[in-house]
Amino acid sequence: MSMPAVQLSKPSHGFAAIELTPRIATEIKSDRETLLSGVYAAEIRRLLEARGVLIFREINFTDEQQVAFAKTLGEVIPQGEKGIYKVTLDKKENMQADYLRGAFYWHIDGSTDDIPTRASLLSAKRLAPVGGHTEFANTYAAYDDLPESDKKDLNDLKMVHTIQAAQAAAYPNPTPEQREGWKRYIPRTHPLVWKHQSGRKSLVLGSTASHVEGMDYKAGRALLERLEAWATQPQFVYQHKWKLGDLVIWDNTGTMHRVTPYDFDSGRMMHRTTLVGEERLV
């Protein structure tokens, strides 16, 4: 005689963390109510720093819920409409759409700021039919795995970050107006190795990295290219293939990210909420 099948009800108020790759990205299985309660906020912040990227599949937060959830994790930057910034290449939806084309290249958000943002929360509202996946690279893990000789050589190097360098990647033949616009941003010098208050170290790379201070330009560029190739090896990278309603949070102080190519006219729409930076880049 067979046992009657047991109907398992969906767990409520549950919280489970599942590592998606050994070095980066954890999926959080929970529900909206639990996440909004803030009960797991400290654990989410801990996981974010440890794992770089957290995935909440098809959590389907409204804008208000996304901002409320973000507020359980830190201070929200009053950007966009009530803390929701529209990441899209549709100029009718975002006047800065041209600038966002820089996102196709590896970068750290706010890397020309003194204190880069803490983290970003991104929700998928409309998908591109092809491409538009977001890739994240763990810059803590990339640093940790460097040969000791590299760690020694890189420890005191400083790099100059500019918007110009990042935008030149997206626009290799800029108009004079574009050139003038980019010049309005102040270059920022940062250490190549971020010595965090926690004692951990991460690499500070990405498309805003223009050149290494005090080093021959070509030699500096060669070093940057070598380190970017190193830091974006498959073992340090997680690629998120979006589904509608997914929410992804990334630690902007220990990862860099980029989006894979997609049709500029696809209408892809992501809603982003950003947390205020908490740690000076030193």
If one counts every other C-beta atom within 10 angstroms of the C-beta of residue 8, the result is: 6
Choose which of 66, 89, 109, 127 interacts with Fe ion (CB under 5 A).
Answer: 109
C-alpha distances (whole Å) from 224 to each of 212, 213, 228 are 8, 12, 6
Q: Which is nearer to Fe ion, 69 or 136 (CB)?
A: 136
CB of 257 to Fe ion, least distance (A): 6
Torsional class of 267: left (φ above 0), alpha (ψ -120 to 50), beta (otherwise): left
Q: Which stretch binds Fe ion (CB under 5 A): 65-73, 101-109, 214-222, 223-231?
A: 101-109
Nearest distance in Å: CB 246, Fe ion: 16
Q: Is 27 exposed, middle or buried (0-12, 13-18, 19+ CB in 10 A)?
A: middle
Q: How far is the CB of 168 from Fe ion (least distance, A)?
A: 17
- CB under 5 A: which stretch of 3-11, 106-114, 215-223, 229-237 binds Fe ion? 106-114
By C-beta, is 8 or 95 nearer to Fe ion? 95
Radius of gyration of the chain (CA): 20
3-state secondary structure of 166: helix
Find the part of the chain contacting Fe ion (CB under 5 A) among 8-16, 102-110, 151-159, 263-271: 102-110
The residue with its CB nearest to Fe ion is 109
Is there binding between residue 251 and Fe ion (CB under 5 A)? no
* Count of other CB atoms within 10 angstroms of residue 223: 21
**Which CB sits closer to Fe ion, 109 or 251?**
109
Q: Which is nearer to Fe ion, 89 or 154 (CB)?
A: 89
Q: How far is CA 274 from CA 97, 174, 249, in A?
A: 18, 29, 9
Residues in contact with Fe ion, counted by CB under 5 A, come to a total of: 1
Q: CB-wise, 71 or 101, nearer to Fe ion?
A: 101
Reference 178, options 166, 188, 189; nearest CA is: 166
User: Is the Cβ of residue 74 or residue 110 nearer to Fe ion in the bound state?
Assistant: 110
Q: Considering beta carbons, is residue 109 or 228 the nearer one to Fe ion?
A: 109
CB of 141 to Fe ion, least distance (A): 19
- Whole-number minimum distance, CB 109 to Fe ion, in Å? 4
Other Cβ atoms closer than 10 A to 225: 12
CA distances from 65 to 77, 95, 118, 123, 263 (A): 15, 25, 19, 11, 29
- Which residues inside 163-192 make contact with Fe ion, applying CB under 5 A? none
CB of 139 to Fe ion, least distance (A): 14
- DSSP lists the bridge partners of residue 161 as 188, 209
Report in angstroms how near the CB of residue 107 gets to Fe ion at its nearest. 6
Q: Half-sphere exposure of residue 33, counting CA atoms within 13 Å on the CB side?
A: 4
Contact residues toward Fe ion (CB under 5 A) are: 109
